[in-house]
Structure 1
Amino acid sequence: MPQLNPAPWLSLMIFTWLVFLIIIPPKVLAHFSPNNALMQDMNDLKTESWTWPWS
């Protein structure tokens, strides 16, 4: 049964995982996000109470 012979696909699978784990992550992490988060002033987060028309 040829399905039990690991020779054709085992090396390809190992090489593919090495590419995914070693080569691709530094390339992806090298990109930066242009929208950096800014710290907000805590005073701006205070909201006014809502006046319901039926109360």
Structure 2
Amino acid sequence: MPQLNPAPWFAILMFSWAVFLAVIPTKVMGHTFNNEPSPKTAEKPKQDPWNWPWS
């Protein structure tokens, strides 16, 4: 049964993983987002105390 011989399938597996690990991360890391997040300011907005009308 030729499918039980691991020699050609192991080489194909290793070659496909080598291509996967070499090509795919460069394509994913090269992706740019349309809306880049803007950094938030360190200062917090001033919060006014709530004025209850019945107190």
Partner of 2:20: 20
TM superposition outliers: structure 1 runs of 4+ over 6 Å: none
Asked which structure has the greater CA Rg, the reply is 2
Partner of 1:29: 29
Percent identity of equivalent pairs? 38
TM-score when scaled to structure 2? 0.58
Offset of residue 6 of structure 1: 1.0
Looking at structure 2, the residues matched to 39 and 23 of structure 1 have their Cα atoms a distance apart, in angstroms, of 31
Structure 1: tracts of 5 or more residues without a match: 49-55
TM-score when scaled to structure 1? 0.58
Structure 2: tracts of 5 or more residues without a match: 48-55
SS, match of residue 26 in structure 2? helix
Higher helix share: 1
**Aligned pairs, number:** 50
Deviations 1:28-51 (A, max 9, x none): 2111111111133466x76x7xxx
> Superposition RMSD on alpha carbons, in Å?
2.7
